[in-house]
Structure 1
């Protein structure tokens, strides 16, 4: 192997090995109930009871501040937990999006109220949060989205559709990308993110069945849905 492609093993700190053994013992207590099919679907596997048990161990939002339900632990410790979970095909779909994506975003750009309202419940495994990005006419070209958030007294009115939204039907919130000014031809200009309570009136969530007959993907329609000003992540646009 060329020297440039050789990456020597980097030993982890001793405390991570103790954590690894703890995670393995925890997983061994749960594995007997998992089918081969559920193991194969680890990344999207949705098991609320398992996620609550993971949260009770402090293994969701491990690197977050304790003030928001985290443990102030290192990224290497988080890596060890995730590595062990993925190695056995644990069902992490109920908490993976909050742990790796939306939680860190809220920590960086969210208001104090948003952090305190959402992050501790994510860390305990009580709720899930999905990401509303792709649209029927945009796909992975997010700059072409058409769903809009129009200013309204005290907040925003949302209209449009999101598609391929994983586990939207089992989530309490969506972190959605909407156009708050301009048109799709403006591309990246005028895009904003909003924290949307999925129990709000005007939201319809329809499952999209895949070839296996399951429906963890969803189409989400917004029909004049109100989101208060407090739902805006960061600044508009």
Structure 2
């Protein structure tokens, strides 16, 4: 399958968007009436796996994931409407935020077929949560300076290093980790960088 076919296509009826927006608003009100907390920075601090599963049951997670990977094959505009309304309502979306917002498109564009089959359906069901392992103690926002390394070994890769600003890592199942797989070239500092999916419950992984 080509990469282009993984992106949902087609037009969206504006009246359908209005209906979708109304449905999300009503759902958010119902959840808040039932006791779901509301926070300004809900995408970061509002970790509520029960709420995530309720969204997934309505098809509002993994919306742009192709049906063949357990998603709903809907448009990015529809996903935008859902996201906008949930954030406006202060809904607790942190549990699935990174998985749905960043991991899904990364897997669709760069992931292997095995990775897509393993992670995308679980994300769409609201059962798989991700963090991000980019920055490091001495790197800040200069990701070209990361020192964590991955070396090829029998049976896979060995990763050595430390990451910071990994919000939700103590709750997440995995994170996407930026490491060096080749020595740094001072003239091309961004060369030799790779990303790995790391199981945060695997032996040798410590979350502090």
**TM-score normalised by structure 2 residue count:** 0.89
Q: Report the equivalent of 2:162.
A: 161
Q: For the residues of structure 2 that align with 1:90 and 1:158, how far apart are their CA atoms?
A: 35
Q: Report the equivalent of 1:4.
A: none
| Match of residue 199, structure 2, among 197, 210, 215 | 197
Preserved CA contact (<8 Å) 2:99 2:128: no
User: Do structure 1's residue 84 and structure 2's residue 85 form an aligned pair?
Assistant: yes
**SS of the counterpart of 1:94?**
helix
**Offset at residue 184 of structure 1 (A):** 7.5
Instruction: Give the aligned length.
Output: 194
Runs of 4+ in 1 over 4 A off after TM superposition: none
Residues 153-195 of structure 1, C-alpha deviations (whole Å, 9 max, x = no match): 1211111000010101111111111101104746212111111
**Offset at residue 100 of structure 1 (A):** 1.2
Q: Report the equivalent of 2:123.
A: 122
**Offset at residue 14 of structure 1 (A):** 0.9
Runs of 5+ unmatched residues, structure 1: 1-11, 207-237
Q: For the residues of structure 1 that align with 2:151 and 2:185, how far apart are their CA atoms?
A: 14
User: Do structure 1's residue 171 and structure 2's residue 180 form an aligned pair?
Assistant: no
Relative to structure 1, the CA distance from residue 78 to residue 183 in structure 2 (aligned partners, 3 Å threshold; closer, same or farther) is same
**SS of the counterpart of 1:156?**
strand
What is the RMSD of the two structures over their aligned residues, measured on CA atoms?
1.6
Runs of 5+ unmatched residues, structure 2: 1-12
**Offset at residue 104 of structure 1 (A):** 0.5
Higher strand content, 1 or 2: 1
**Offset at residue 43 of structure 1 (A):** 1.3
